[in-house]
Structure 1
Amino acid sequence: MSKALFLDRDGTLIVDKHYLADPDGVELLPGVVEGLRRARALGYRLFLFSNQSGVGRGYYTLEDALRVNDRMEKLIALPTPLFDGVCMATETPDQPMIYRKPSPRFINEMIAHHTLDPKQCIMVGDRETDIEAGLAAGTQVAALANGKLTRDAWARFNFPNLALHDDFTSFAATLR
């Protein structure tokens, strides 16, 4: 069985610019390239899992969101395809939740499809919904503070498999 990282996009891999639709606005967070390079070298498969309610709200199109992803991948500049699977959950908070985090559906589907070991998978994100999705899927979780969330904000998650990191660099250093 394989291991994998399920990665949120905004606030985890790139600067969260709230409803980003313009690829020119993509800025990688520090340590992302080195961290993803390390993860791949250690045999982790990579999956992108992003809530994109701006599509469901009509602020931008799915094609816009995918162009942002393409720009991010170009900036990361690792061999392609970078991700073994991508989920852009376009539901708004008031719509029935199918893929929108905290739903674990995408993670569960990828675990089954790619014969992944949930205990060797990690959901990495910067919001409670990211953590909740990973916990619901039975994976490990890693929260990134990234300067906007404090340790106190994450203290309510009293789970033994919760790890909080200041940034992607400190998270990637823990991978084995």
Structure 2
Amino acid sequence: MDKAIFLDRDGVINEVLTDRVTFVNTPEDFHLLPGTGEAVQLLNAAGYKVFVVTNQGGVGLGFMAEEALREVHMKMQEVLRKENALIDDIAYCPHKPYANCACRKPKPQMILDLAEKHQVNLKESYMVGDREPDILAGRDAGVRTILVGNGDSGGVVADFVFPDLLAAAKWIAS
């Protein structure tokens, strides 16, 4: 079985709620955070599969179509490929917030589905996020959790805390 890193998208991989971008609803709104390409490349080289697990309630709320979301993800993968960094797969929840679906973080279903699909050993894996729902989803999936940035953990304690994805990736890869 493989080991994996499950990454939240907004606030971990790309900018959100910054001076430049509020929400990522089009490919033009997608701006990679500094160090993200190097971080993913380090994780790839360390033998981890790298997955994105992201809540995208804007689809359910009608702020963007699923086709636009696919275009954003294609741009993300393209930008990372230029830095020799590979995302192995992407899972997203398109449902409205508070829809009580099985896939929306803090529920762990996206992580569990990717783990089953790709034969991942959850005990050897990590969930990296910047908010409480990411940490709860990781914990409930049985992976180690990493909180990055100045995110709001809502008082939930992650297993590890780092300033950004690159710092976390350097630690994981060492």
| Common topology (TM > 0.5) | yes
* CA distance 1:154–1:99, change in 2 (3 Å): closer
Q: How does 1:136-155 map to 2 (within 5 A)?
A: 136-145=140-149, 148-149=150-151, 153-154=152-153
* Rounded Cα–Cα distance in structure 1 between residues aligned with 2:129 and 2:34: 15
Match of 2:61 in 1: 57
Deviates more, 1:119-128 or 1:14-23: 14-23
CA distance, structure 1, for counterparts of residue 125 and residue 71 of structure 2: 27
SS at match of 1:49: strand
Distance change in 2, residues 1:51/1:169 (3 Å): same
Please show how residues 136-175 of structure 1 align to structure 2 within 5 Å.
136-145=140-149, 148-149=150-151, 153-154=152-153, 156-158=155-157, 162-175=159-172
Q: Secondary structure at the match of 1:175?
A: helix
Asked if 1:93 corresponds to 2:97, the answer is yes
Distance 2:53 2:80 in 1: 17
Secondary structure at the residue paired with 1:20? coil
Superposition deviation, residue 175 in structure 1: 1.1
Q: CA deviation at 1:9?
A: 0.7
Q: Give the fraction of aligned pairs with identical amino acids, expressed as a percent.
A: 31
Distance in 2 of aligned mates of 1:84 and 1:33: 14
Could you tell me which runs of 5 or more consecutive residues in structure 1 were left unpaired when the two chains were aligned. Answer: none
Structure number with higher strand proportion: 1
Q: Which one-letter code corresponds to 2:68 in the other structure?
A: D
Contact 1:37 1:78 survives alignment (8 Å)? no
User: Could you state the TM-score of these two structures normalised by the residue count of structure 2?
Assistant: 0.89
Where does the alignment leave 5 or more consecutive residues of structure 2 unmatched? none
| Secondary structure in structure 1 of the residue aligned to 2:99 | coil
* Secondary structure of residue in 2 paired with 1:60: coil
Assess, with a 3 A threshold, how the Cα gap between structure 1 residues 175 and 78 changes in structure 2: closer, same or farther. Answer: farther
Root mean square deviation of aligned Cα = 2.0
Q: Normalization by structure 1: what TM-score?
A: 0.88
